[in-house]
Structure 1
Amino acid sequence: MAASEGLLALEGRPTAQLIADQLREQIVQGAFRPGEQINESVLASQLDTSRGSVREALQRLCQEGILVRRHNKGVFLLELTSHDIREIYAARQAVESTAAAVLLDAGQDQVKDTCRELQAIVTDMAKQVAVSDWQAIARLDMEFHTSFVAGAGNTRLIRIYETLAAESRMCILNLAVAYPRMDVLVQEHQMLLDLLESGNKEGLDKAIKRHLETAVEDLTTPRQDKP
């Protein structure tokens, strides 16, 4: 399995969680093809660890929905359909809107701290857009939204969003050759930041909805139909 060559043997005896974290990152970076089988024995050899640890790591990713186990066939990378994409982004909208409301009710200090972190991400995103580094842009896009949700300080919202973020990065990377609006990514995220900073709860909620609905349209519209 050539894709596993990006995996590195971990120091000592890697735990299932460490293996799952590394494998998840490789998956969202596009190291594996949608629908590709994940070979347990090859991974164990690559990581210099036991098949039991790898099996547990794969089970964690199956529980997250990133991998799927097929009876008597093995474990495969999820193939995201248009229906899956709409579900993922609808769930993101619900979590992000809730996080926005919680954050704005938390007080100015918490809002300012979050805005400072988000501004640094937007600045970095602008640099990556300038050089068209799509993988870096995809990572920063989700880093922005994950930091936004984390700013609310609700551990359960954060935990829910981690899986949605991984699935979203898998979706976003599929846009690399087709995404027509790379130049407005920074503007869209800056607008979300500005609305948060100004405390405009209604405007922020509408902007989150519009931003994610536009992403779904980009992800699900056939390339030849895009402007």
Structure 2
Amino acid sequence: MVGLQSISAIESRSTAVIIADQLREGIIAGTFESGDQINEAQLAERLEVSRGPVREALHRLVQEGLLEGRPNRGVFVKQVTHRDIAEVAEAREVIECAAAEVVVGHGAAERSRIADALVAATEPMADAVRRGDRAALRRADLGFHALLVAQGANRRLERAYRTLATEALIAMSHFDGWEPDDALIAEHVRLAELLRAGDMEAFHRVLHEHLAIDTIELHTHDDEPLRHGRVEA
């Protein structure tokens, strides 16, 4: 029926989720800056909704660590510190290594399939570099790592990583020294090829260096045995 084709799909997400998504994107894009207050009443008036879904949306983002509630003052965009950036990088390393441990346990054919998919995931990054589009590059970069985590076939790790990815995007936007270049693409390809080879030790060390930021101190792996993922009995 032609008439049915003109009807749009019903929005299945709740109003609170839609509001949270818009606020999250605004924080990532820098529309809301660190320390900005998010006024519940003003936001509800601006969106022409009741304060209930706005309050729920703000609560979601507080739980995600993007907003913080201050007693008797309200809700504010969380200020990003060097410690925040370090913690995000360290948590990402743990989760990505856990997923990589699963990948290297596969046979050569499956590792090669996954590595090919990861190399293909660098193409949007290369396109963003050519255009000098930092925002697109940040998202493509996180897309590569999210694809890696998905190979671990652990839904809880994936869910945790989605929150980390949002924080990582915000951290990247606050780090002025982060430049789009071809070297970044090469680092990601190297990670994919180490998984193809099944070299977990080298992958872990390269990932650690990849996530490190010169001006922010992370934990070190110098001269120490590496642990990746779960420790089996």
Matches within 5 A, 1:1-227: 14-107=14-107, 111-175=111-175, 177-180=176-179, 182-213=181-212, 216-217=213-214
Give the match for residue 224 of structure 1. none
The answer as to whether partners of 2:172 and 2:178 remain within 8 angstroms in 1 is: no
Task: State the Cα distance separating 1:11 from its structure 2 match.
Answer: 5.4
Q: Quick one: distance in 2 between partners of 1:218 and 1:119?
A: 29
CA pair 11-119 structure 1, distance change in 2 beyond 3 A? same
State the AA in 2 paired with 1:43.
Answer: L
Aligned in 2, Cα 1:31/1:112: closer, same or farther, shift over 3 Å? Answer: farther
Deviations 1:89-137 (Å, cap 9, x if unpaired)? 1111111111110222245565455434322320111111012101101
CA-to-aligned-CA distance 1:50-88 (integer Å, 9 cap, x gap): 211111111011011111000111111111111111111
Output the CA distance in 2 between the equivalents of 1:13 and 1:114.
32
Q: Is the 8 A contact 2:137 2:180 kept in 1?
A: no
Aligned to 1:5: none
Q: TM (normalized to structure 1)?
A: 0.82
Question: TM-score scaled by structure 2?
Answer: 0.80
Q: Percent identity?
A: 41
- 1:67/1:109 CA distance change after superposition, 3 Å: farther
| Cα pair 1:13 1:49 within 8 Å, conserved | no
| Superposition deviation, residue 143 in structure 1 | 1.1
Deviates more, 1:191-200 or 1:123-132: 191-200
Q: Which of 110-119 and 54-63 deviates more?
A: 110-119
**Number of residue equivalences:** 208
Contiguous gaps of at least 5 residues in structure 1: 1-9, 221-227
Q: Output the aligned Cα RMSD.
A: 2.3
Closer/same/farther in 2, CA of residues 83 and 12 from structure 1, 3 Å limit:
closer
More helix by share: 1
Of the two, which has the highest radius of gyration? Answer: 2
8 A Cα contact 1:179 1:218, kept in partner: no
2:40, 2:55 within 8 Å by CA — same for their partners in 1?
yes
Secondary structure of 1:217's aligned partner: coil
Q: Partner amino acid for 2:125?
A: M
Residues 23-53 of structure 1, C-alpha deviation per residue, up to 9 Å, x if partnerless? 2122112221111111222332343332111
Cα pair 2:37 2:74 within 8 Å, conserved: yes
Structure 2 Cα separation of the partners of residues 13 and 140 of structure 1: 25
Compared CA separation, residues 22 and 109, structure 1 to 2 (3 A): farther
Relative to structure 1, the CA distance from residue 47 to residue 96 in structure 2 (aligned partners, 3 Å threshold; closer, same or farther) is same
Residue identity opposite 2:205 in structure 1: K
Matched letter for residue 92 of structure 1: R
SS of residue paired to 1:69: strand
